[in-house]
Amino acid sequence: MSDAADALSNYVSTAEVRSDGTVDLPDANTRHLVALALAAAADPDFSPGTVWDGRAHAGAALKLKTNRAWYITGLVARSSSDAADVKAILSSAGPGGFRRNNLWVSVREALDQQVAFPGKTVHVGPTGKDPFNNSPWLNQSALNTSVRTGRRGEPELHELESLLDAVSVSTPQEAREGLVAFLRALVVDIDYGAHSTREGELVGARRRALIDAVDRFLQEDPEGGKRCQALLAAALSSAFGDGVMSGKINDPSFRLPGDVQVMDGGEATLVAEAKHRDDISESEVRGFVRDLAANNYSRAIYFALGPGNDHLRALEPGLASDHDMVTKVITRAEELLDLCFLWSPPPMAQRFIDRFVSLYRVWLSRLDSTAAKRWERAAAAALEAATP
């Protein structure tokens, strides 16, 4: 047995079963377990067996990224404790329950720090810290195959349930072998020199076509600011993933500051305001930043869409020194998209254009725009014309 396999075999979990039957999965212990599994996955002499290999490839083939997060957290939970309910989302699921989002955070941190596969990444999918707070799992305490997932999601949900059923009857040692197999199946090359095409990235003729389509769409009808706010939410979602929130236009029930927020651990860590008109005043920008600074926020975007607002960029240095926070003033859709492409991690940057087109449609629908489908058709036509 190799050193890596031996270390994984001798792993001692500090998970505890509480008096109410729920399971405590300590963060540090989880990160240590995933690090050991990564080392074993990088060892060519370690063989989890053909059964786990087959399940791993089935799990990696799941197209919905949250489903892959389901599978890896199920394997980690079972590897840590045979009392863990691998279908739980919350502690309220009952005996074996645990907070799955918390477990995912620990798993993702371990994967982000991995050095077992130089020049590669272990790509599960979700980038936010709370993937199980999203539809259809919001307000669910455990996996429920009767939730509405749409035609695309329903077959995958049953495949996911089958994979988790296999994990639930395994021993912790067997689950660790399954974890090693799944990690191997998720390894992807991040060396851009190896790519034969960059069609999905925001570059070249397709970049220009997409930006021109966005500009035409915005000029066609601002819809009272809906298209501008949806654009901001979609661009940030393309860069930051699931942890982006936005209330509807003039919604008094939405209590977070700004129009769009990038969330982390239940808190807004980047706050963005969207305005679509040419006469935004310096006092509006200053007031927005001042209010954020008073509540200890440190990062802000003011999306002042319109060429008449370019002078607002000069405010940035003064806002930084006056309020101890960094504010980026953006006045064009092109600049917003370029910045979000720059901020995107490699696996998301490789699919940026398709992600943005789809997410812009989603956010338009969420903000009650009447033009979501028209946007998708316009974008598809523009991109097709720009693709050789």
Residues paired with 245 in a beta bridge: 261
CA distance 58 to 60: 6
Q: Is the pLDDT of residue 250 over 80?
A: no
Q: Are strands 299-305 and 267-276 parallel, antiparallel or unpaired?
A: parallel
Query: How much is the pLDDT for 194?
Result: 42
Q: Structure tokens of 230?
A: 């949806």
Q: Calculate mean pLDDT across residues 71-89.
A: 95
**Does 297 have pLDDT greater than 50?**
yes
Return the pLDDT at 150.
57
Tell me which H or E stretch contains 232.
Answer: helix 226-240
What is the pTM (predicted TM-score) of this model? 0.55
CA distances from 54 to 125, 184, 353 (A): 20, 12, 32
pLDDT at 323: 93
Contacts of 275 (CB under 8 A, 6+ apart): 225, 228, 284, 302, 303, 304, 305
Count of residues for the chain?
388
Q: What percent of the chain has a predicted confidence (pLDDT) above 70?
A: 93
Nearest-CA neighbor of 89 among 133, 25, 126, 59? 133
Q: What is the pLDDT of residues 337-367, one digit of tens each?
A: 999 999 998 878 888 998 999 999 999 999 9
Helix (H, G, I), strand (E, B) or coil at 313: helix
> What pLDDT does residue 23 have?
94
Six-digit token string for 314 = 């000069």
Q: Where along the chain do its domains lie? A: 3-189, 204-386
Would you report the helix, strand and coil content of the chain in percent, each value rounded to 5? Answer: 55, 10, 35
Degrees to nearest 5, angle at CA 269 with 268 and 272: 80
Whether 159 and 68 have beta carbons less than 8 Å apart is answered as no
Residue 200 confidence (pLDDT): 77
Is 57 in a helix, a strand, or coil?
helix
C-alpha to C-alpha distance for 255 and 118, rounded to whole angstroms: 43
Q: Specify the residue for token string 């008096």.
A: 19
